[in-house]
Every structure is written in C-alpha cells, then in structure tokens.
Chain A
C-alpha cells in the first residue's frame, strides 16, 4: 500500500519540483532583465536567428492551415445555406486559435529544442564557465537575450502567419465559387474586431516567454555528456508544447470571463 503511494507521489513530486525550479529560473530572469549593460548584439542576433529559422516553416504551415480549414468548413456551411459566411467563420477560428497555437508549437519544436541543445552543449563543454571568467554574466548574456527574443519574435511570427493563413483561406474560398479579393477582405475585417486580435496576440507573448524560459532552463541545467544535451533538447520541446496548451486554456478562460468572446 505504502509502496504504491510512493509510486504515485514520486512523479507528482518531481513535476512540482520541476515547476518550482522553472519558476525560480524565471524569477532570476526578471531580476536581471533591467541589469545594465544590455547585450543588444546578442539579442538582435537571436531575434534574427529565430525569425530566419522558423519563418519558412511557419509560413508554409499557415498557408496550408488556411486552405484546409476553409475547404473543410465549406460543406457544413453549405448545408445550412450559409456559404457566404465562409470567410468570416474561417478567419475567426484561424486568427483566434489555430494560427497562434500552431505557430507556437512549431517554434517550441524548432526554437525550443535549438535553445535547449545549444545551451546544453555550451554547459557541458564549459563555455558557460568560460563566459563567467571572462567577466560576463552568462545568465544575462545567454538567457535574458534568448527569452526576450522568443517573447518578441513569436508574436511577430504569429502576425505574419495570420496574414498568410488568411491568404490561404482566400485561395480556399475560390477553389469553388468566386469571391473577389476585395469582398473577401471586407468580410474578414467586418468580423475580425479588436476583441479577436488583441487577446489572441497577447497570449502569444506568453507562448514565446514559455518557450524561451523552458529551453534555456533545460539547456542551462543540462547533465554532463552528450546524452544530457539530447535530453535537454527533447524535454524542452515536450514541456514547452504542454505549456502552450495550458496557457491557451487559461487565456480562453480569461477572455471568456472578460466577456470578450
């Protein structure tokens, strides 16, 4: 009986412990964020790197999502004789939910694992120690810049992806039936109000922050050896993807409570 309880409690304890450690790590980030001098070059390099590395994948996925969602929604709307509503309905679900979450998940996979592996290998090859003896706070140089970069760039990528996915929706609408370019966009902007755009954009800052913090935490605390690095990369993807869904759930509740839906 006792043994069983141990089996259940141990993983629970581990999860809570990890959550506590990540929170501590995040607090350290907030403590150092206003510490001068700010590492502009590294921050800019990271922003460029994130954008450059994920934009192609994000763009293709967004275009496909726009197309697919449109094609799949059409039959249902046709059944209700509401085909004219297609652009409106599709654009709301794309901008509010699908594009932000998909973009975040792609970035969790590409950026999160990249950061986890990069910092992990810097840790095991003593590059982080070397920075420290070179009179540089490695947390500030590596973690603060990367977390700020993901927090800024994932919303930027999401906005771009929103645009691309709506273009996909436009193409999808025109596969059967004709809706002119102007009519399509006037319908989209008819239905999309600030209440759709602002909350869905706000949550992407949190997605970006979570991806950055988890990747950095996992890399920074990587275990010795090459398996340690692989493990860091892997678990940063798992944890940050999970966090994206949790944050999304919380964001929905909040917008609901505030009556923004």
Chain B
C-alpha cells in the first residue's frame, strides 16, 4: 500500500434534493484517520442533511459514501448497525430521550450495540462517560432538569460511551453562550486526544471551528466550495469565504 493516509470517510459526487430543492450538488469530501475536519456553511445550506447521509439516516440519490471502507448505500440494516456502532453522532438538538434519566439515556445505545456486557462493565462505562464530560453527579437526573450546556455534555457522553472511531458533531455550540461554547469546544479537543477519534464538525461558529478543526471545508451552494486550514482560508480573497470570519 502506497497510501500514507488512511481515509475513514470518503464522499464522492454526492447529490441530494428534496423535491425541487437541490440541497447537495456534487459534494466531495475526505476524512483521514485521526483528523478533525469542519464543514462550514450557512443555516439551511444542507449541513445536517450531509451528516445524516453519512450515517444512513437520509437516503441520497446519486454519488457514493464510504464509511470505514464500507459503501453506505449498499449495506443492509445489520451491516449498517455495525458501522453505526463505530460512529458517534452528536445531534444538533441533543436528542436526549425525555422519558429517560441521564443514566438510561447512556445505557440505551450500550444495551443495543453491545449486548454481551455485564452489569459491572456497564456501570463502569457510564461513570467513565459522565466523568469525561465532567458531570459525574447527574446520572439520576431527567434531561428536563439540565441546562443547555449540560444537555450538550450528556449528549456527548452518550455519543462517547460506545468509544466510536468517528464522531459526527452537528453544530455542537449553537444556542450556547460564548463561554459554554468554548468549554464544549475544549472538551471536544480533549476527547479527540484521549480516544484518538476522527471527527467531522458541522458548524457556522468560526471560534469553535478554530479550536477543534485541523482542516475546513466550505459548503456553499451544495458543493465543497473551498478547502484549507483556518489560517489559509482566512487569507482568502473570496468574499463568500471571508464572510464566515467576522
């Protein structure tokens, strides 16, 4: 093998539309192992649609998506579940189950993806996940009792509990104040270092992107309009690229 970099997500010529609304038009993307790439785009540009395509939540009409070397569109549900067990997804709206306690929320993916674990192993994993997000005392609380930032952390803990190889973050800092945003961003970097995950970060928060991402892809008009590091894009002459940097 000559390839130096090992790609964990590859997207080629992706097209997705809803009726006449062409959201993604020939989008191309690569995520290498251990790397953290941000996809930057305006509200409504199709960022959420993009990462939902990656995890198989939305079917796309044209193009290819490879995740951990598997062609997502050809997998049956069992094979897809095997991939999903290795890919964490942090939802834009947290998606914590309202009717369950924090602990039950964390147990939900664990019980379903890893059926062989014993009760002690499970409890260890739960407390490890809560320690990772620095909220060890919340196990028996309900999501409605948590603040916005805490919810985000618990959602992150639920994503981490399966020790995923890849994490997809859908706007992790949207709706949070600047200080909490920075805390969440730093937490993401910490987790990245600790577990050596690769990650895709969807955002329009340039500060979060600056802290977390190694590389940035600009999603404009449905395609990968520009790519580069934070510094290289900041020097760009293109007005559309620059507009993200104020």
Binding site for B on A (CB under 8 A): 118, 121-122, 124-127, 129-137
In the bound complex, residues from chain B placing their C-beta under 8 Å from that of A136 are 108, 112
Q: How far apart sit A134 and B106, CA to CA, in the bound complex (Å)?
A: 10
Q: Which of B97-150 contact A (CB under 8 A)?
A: 97-99, 108-109, 112-113
User: Considering residues B55, B85, B95, which has the most beta carbons from chain A within 10 angstroms of its beta carbon?
Assistant: B95
Q: Which 7 A-B pairs have the closest CB atoms?
A: A130-B95, A134-B109, A126-B95, A135-B112, A126-B91, A135-B81, A125-B93
User: Considering residues A121, A135, A136, A137, which has the most beta carbons from chain B within 10 angstroms of its beta carbon?
Assistant: A135
A127 touches B108 (CB 8 A): no
Q: List 23 A-B contacts (CB under 8 A).
A: A121-B98, A122-B97, A125-B93, A125-B94, A125-B98, A126-B91, A126-B93, A129-B52, A130-B95, A130-B97, A131-B108, A132-B57, A133-B55, A133-B89, A133-B109, A134-B109, A134-B113, A135-B84, A135-B85, A135-B109, A135-B112, A135-B113, A136-B108
User: Is B181 an interface residue when CB atoms closer than 8 A count as contact?
Assistant: no
Q: How far apart sit A130 and B112, CA to CA, in the bound complex (Å)?
A: 12
Given A122-B98, A126-B92, A126-B93, are A134 and B57 also a contact pair (CB < 8 Å)?
Answer: no
User: Is B96 an interface residue when CB atoms closer than 8 A count as contact?
Assistant: yes
How big is chain B's contact interface, by range? Answer: 20 to 34
In the bound complex, residues from chain B placing their C-beta under 8 Å from that of A129 are 52, 57, 91, 95
Q: How far apart sit A57 and B241, CA to CA, in the bound complex (Å)?
A: 61
In the bound complex, residues from chain A placing their C-beta under 8 Å from that of B95 are 125-127, 129-130
B122 CB to closest chain A CB (Å) equals 15
B96 touches A127 (CB 8 A): yes
B97 touches A133 (CB 8 A): no
Q: How far apart sit A135 and B162, CA to CA, in the bound complex (Å)?
A: 12
In the bound complex, residues from chain A placing their C-beta under 8 Å from that of B113 are 134-135
A146 CB to closest chain B CB (Å) equals 12
B206 CB to closest chain A CB (Å) equals 24
Closest to A130 in B: B95
Q: How far apart sit A129 and B81, CA to CA, in the bound complex (Å)?
A: 13
Tell me the dominant secondary structure on chain A's binding face.
helix
User: Considering residues A118, A124, A127, A131, which has the most beta carbons from chain B within 10 angstroms of its beta carbon?
Assistant: A127
Given A132-B57, A133-B89, are A127 and B98 also a contact pair (CB < 8 Å)?
Answer: yes
Closest to B82 in A: A135
In the bound complex, residues from chain B placing their C-beta under 8 Å from that of A134 are 84, 108-109, 112-113
A37 CB to closest chain B CB (Å) equals 10
Q: How far apart sit A118 and B98, CA to CA, in the bound complex (Å)?
A: 9
In the bound complex, residues from chain A placing their C-beta under 8 Å from that of B81 are 135
Closest to A124 in B: B93
Q: How far apart sit A188 and B55, CA to CA, in the bound complex (Å)?
A: 62
In the bound complex, residues from chain A placing their C-beta under 8 Å from that of B57 are 129, 132-133
Q: Of the candidates B55, B77, B87, B97, which one forms a contact with A127 in the assembled complex, judged by CB atoms under 8 Å apart?
A: B97
Closest to B112 in A: A135
A225 CB to closest chain B CB (Å) equals 12
Q: How far apart sit A130 and B91, CA to CA, in the bound complex (Å)?
A: 8
In the bound complex, residues from chain B placing their C-beta under 8 Å from that of A118 are 99
Q: How far apart sit A121 and B98, CA to CA, in the bound complex (Å)?
A: 9
Q: How far apart sit A125 and B55, CA to CA, in the bound complex (Å)?
A: 17
Q: How far apart sit A178 and B9, CA to CA, in the bound complex (Å)?
A: 82
Q: How far apart sit A133 and B93, CA to CA, in the bound complex (Å)?
A: 15
Closest to A121 in B: B98
In the bound complex, residues from chain A placing their C-beta under 8 Å from that of B97 are 122, 127, 130
In the bound complex, residues from chain A placing their C-beta under 8 Å from that of B96 are 127
Q: How far apart sit A132 and B57, CA to CA, in the bound complex (Å)?
A: 8
In the bound complex, residues from chain B placing their C-beta under 8 Å from that of A125 are 93-95, 98
Closest to B162 in A: A134
B45 CB to closest chain A CB (Å) equals 17
Q: How far apart sit A127 and B57, CA to CA, in the bound complex (Å)?
A: 12
A130 touches B98 (CB 8 A): no
In the bound complex, residues from chain B placing their C-beta under 8 Å from that of A127 are 95-98
Q: How far apart sit A125 and B95, CA to CA, in the bound complex (Å)?
A: 5
Q: How far apart sit A130 and B94, CA to CA, in the bound complex (Å)?
A: 9
In the bound complex, residues from chain B placing their C-beta under 8 Å from that of A130 are 89, 91, 95, 97
Q: How far apart sit A127 and B99, CA to CA, in the bound complex (Å)?
A: 11
Closest to B108 in A: A134
Closest to B55 in A: A133
A213 CB to closest chain B CB (Å) equals 21
Q: How far apart sit A134 and B109, CA to CA, in the bound complex (Å)?
A: 5
A222 CB to closest chain B CB (Å) equals 14
New A-B contacts (12) at CB < 8 Å, excluding given A126-B94, A129-B52, A132-B57: A118-B99, A122-B98, A125-B93, A125-B94, A126-B95, A127-B95, A129-B91, A134-B84, A134-B109, A135-B84, A136-B108, A137-B77
In the bound complex, residues from chain B placing their C-beta under 8 Å from that of A131 are 108
